[in-house]
Structure 1
Amino acid sequence: VRITKIRAGRKTPGLAAQHLESFKLVRDLTSASLQGDKVGSCEVTFEPKKTKQGSFSTNPKTAGAITLTVQAALMPLAFAGGTSEVEMRGGTDVDFSPPFDFMQRALIPTIGRMGVKVTAACLHRGFFPTGGGLVNLYVDGLAGSLKPIVIDKRGHVTKIEAVCYATPPSGWLDEEDVARTEEDFEPWLLEELADKGAPKPKVQVRCEAEQMPEGQKVFKAACDILVEMSGGGVFHASGGPLDGPKGRGSLYDVWGAAAEKALAPLKAQLKTGAALDEHLL
């Protein structure tokens, strides 16, 4: 396979660090020969051979999106014939790429229905520009073919799940912020997302303190919302990461702003009548 004119016309054309790491991971997974494997390269020649299982690692040493590297390597991992582990470093929640929670809560369960068993654990969050995120990915290779699934009817909302996370320097969340968020978000999300006239969906709201890499004191907060449908589809949207509160500000207010940011595209998708999230197609 020869790929030319990579990112042609961009201000900085050619491979960036995260693209190069994706190529290298797939190279290692498929025992491939790879030419043009350097940052800035506008042409790559890739000749795969035999797919293999094993332990692998990636580290672009930037905030390059871990989730995009996962997407590049997912099919070779699925057909590797055994269990593989990948230690992945970079950005877990960065602009213009799927956040970690989309991968864990929407993508992985969906492909799981196709027979691909994937487990992902986020040990550290990583944000732009420093990165530093750490994800351990485990994939059990398929014994046979992918199982087809059909998700072609929207149905009604059956479950709404919101996860509000933050990376406070102290490592602890304020109990009042957590209590207010869990109490106030449930009726609010129900009002915003439930289908009128349909059975009342289950609503879950939880708040989590996430860890940053040692030496990084970056205070961020985000709200990820997942909606499950009776037709079998799921929808996801993420608000954030936003800067943590300063001065007398509260995490409750930041999570509220993050939830508002997530709700707009989520409601727009649900309004279309689509059967599942557009990013899963």
Structure 2
Amino acid sequence: MIEIDGAQGEGGGQILRSTLSLSLCLGTPIKIKNIRAGRKKPGLLRQHLTCLRAAKTISNAVVTGEQLGASEVTFVPGTVRPGDYHFPIGSAGSTSLVLQTVLLPLLFADEVSEVSFEGGTHNKKAPSFDFIAEAYLPLLARMGAQVEVALDDYGFYPAGGGTWRARIQPLSQLSALQLTERGELLDYEAVATSAHIPAHVAQRELAQVRKKCDWPAECLHQRQVPSQGPGNLLSLRLRAQQITEVFEAMAKQGVSAERVADGAIRQMQRYIHAGVPVGEHLADQLILPMALGAGGSFVTLKPSLHLRTNIDVIHQLTGAQIDLQEEGLDQWRVLVHSHKEKQAA
């Protein structure tokens, strides 16, 4: 049994999710201690508990520590079973993070899986459904994965209630990903999604994008959606020849619409000025499938603590080597060697 310290690096829930996903894919028993020790409320919250239960369900795993607030978990996986699954969080916790826990294990299963999720679909500090659909899954598709998703209901914090579905086709091997150039910018748009809040909030966000970025009106889209509770998310999307990147900012009480827009704009401008293809958040999510697949490389921004922590966890569980090479101002190359290369050596 491999022991992982949840207090290492950024000390958040990503350590739990990556460890569970790798345990399922490799059939390796694991123990995670000090779970989310770096957070204001340490231990398992509802969305993390759902990740644990989802991992248990798809593999009939033997688990200890399956309770809210637990700071230590042991997980002994069985064989991953494809099938029809439903994972309700019971709160507005991020459903996309639950997907990331079970996606790769179900992808490497031998039959199609249909998975539905219930909870938050557009959350602060988590990839939204839009990010998963627009930025992440297209790159997995380039690696050979076939994953179809459909959003049924929007869910914002704190009401939640969002629902969506994923259909995961089986795959024996992910191919290598080489993503070192962005290519020509083909298209861009800003989408302000809102539920149960005054229309002027989204209008002001889009007006700020037009003012700061000089984008034409036809690239600015206001989307009023039904939801159990109020919420607002601004999404800036850049579509280039080699990649689509998404930059998001969630509205918060007491923060003006203009400041919300500025948050997304700053992320996007940093990315544009650096000249890299892969943004900060997408980099976190690509290294796991690349390490379990045939490896590859990509160029991204200066590695975040999230990325460095995920690299450490992957190395601890698989032995895979992931190298970081600085190439310029806010420009780094990430070289991912498949864990199978380590096994072959």
Q: Residue 36 of structure 2 contacts residue 44 of structure 2 at CA under 8 Å; is this kept in 1?
A: yes
Q: Would you say 1:238 and 2:248 are equivalent positions?
A: yes
Q: TM-score, normalised by structure 2?
A: 0.64
- Partner of 1:200 in structure 2? none
Mapped pair 1:153 → 2:163? no
Structure with higher helix content? 2
Q: 3-state DSSP class of the match of 1:150?
A: strand
> What RMSD, in angstroms, separates the aligned Cα atoms of the two structures?
3.1
* Equivalent residues in 2 for 1:31-46, closer than 5 Å: 31-46=60-75
Partner residue in 2 for 1:208: 223
Tell me how far 1:185 sits from its aligned partner.
Answer: 8.9
CA distance in 2, matches of 1:237, 1:131: 22
Counting only pairs closer than 5 Å after superposition, residues 45-60 of structure 1 correspond to structure 2 as: 45-60=74-89
Q: Please state how far the C-alpha of 1:263 moved relative to its aligned partner.
A: 1.4
**Aligned in 2, Cα 1:83/1:211: closer, same or farther, shift over 3 Å?**
farther
Specify the alignment match of 1:96 in structure 2.
125
Partner residue of 2:149 out of 94, 107, 120 = 120
Task: Spell out the pairing of 1:37-186 with structure 2 (5 A cutoff).
Answer: 37-142=66-171, 144-168=172-196
Residues 231-261 of structure 1 deviation map (CA, whole Å, 9 limit, x = unaligned): x123211133467xxxxxxxxx95x765443
Partner-residue secondary structure (3-state), 2:92 = coil
1:228 aligns to 2:256 (yes or no): no
Correspondence for 2:312: none
Note if contact 1:119-1:138 (Cα within 8 Å) is conserved in structure 2.
yes
Give me the whole-angstrom Cα distance separating, in 2, the residues matched to 1:51 and 1:83: 12
In structure 2, give the amino acid aligned to 1:48: P
Identity rate of aligned residues, in percent?
Answer: 27
Does the Cα contact within 8 Å between 2:143 and 2:175 map onto a contact in 1? yes
User: Does the aligned pair in 2 maintain the 1:163–1:206 contact within 8 Å?
Assistant: yes
Q: Take 2:40 and 2:266, find their aligned partners in 1: how far apart are those partners?
A: 31
Rounded Cα–Cα distance in structure 2 between residues aligned with 1:278 and 1:66 = 20
Q: Distance in 2 between matches of 1:62 and 1:162?
A: 28
Aligned-residue offset at 1:146: 0.5
Q: How far off its partner does 1:38 sit?
A: 1.0
Is residue 89–residue 119 contact of structure 2 (8 Å, CA) maintained in 1? yes
In 2, are the aligned partners of 1:120 and 1:136 still within 8 Å (CA)? Answer: yes
Q: Which residue of 2 aligns with 1:199?
A: none
Q: Is the Cα contact below 8 Å between 1:165 and 1:207 reproduced in 2? A: yes
Alpha carbons 1:123, 1:211 under 8 Å: kept: no
Q: Which amino acid in structure 1 is aligned with residue 225 of structure 2?
A: E
Change (3 A) 1:187 1:7: closer
Taking the aligned partners of 2:210 and 2:248, their CA distance within structure 1 comes to 19
Q: 2-side partners of 1:119 and 1:189: how far apart?
A: 35
Cα 1:72–1:186 shift into 2, 3 Å: same
Between the aligned partners of 1:186 and 1:15, the Cα distance in structure 2 is 37
> How many correspondences in the alignment?
251
In the alignment, the residues of structure 1 paired with residue 224 and residue 60 of structure 2 have an alpha-carbon distance, to the nearest angstrom, of 40
CA distance in 2, matches of 1:127, 1:121: 17
Aligned CA distance change for structure 1 residues 4 and 169 (closer, same or farther; 3 Å): closer
Matched residue type, 1:110 = L
Distance 1:265-1:57 versus aligned 2 partners, 3 A rule: same
1:152/1:275 contact within 8 Å kept: yes
- Contact 1:6–1:15 (CA under 8 A) maintained in structure 2: yes
TM-score (norm: length of structure 1): 0.77
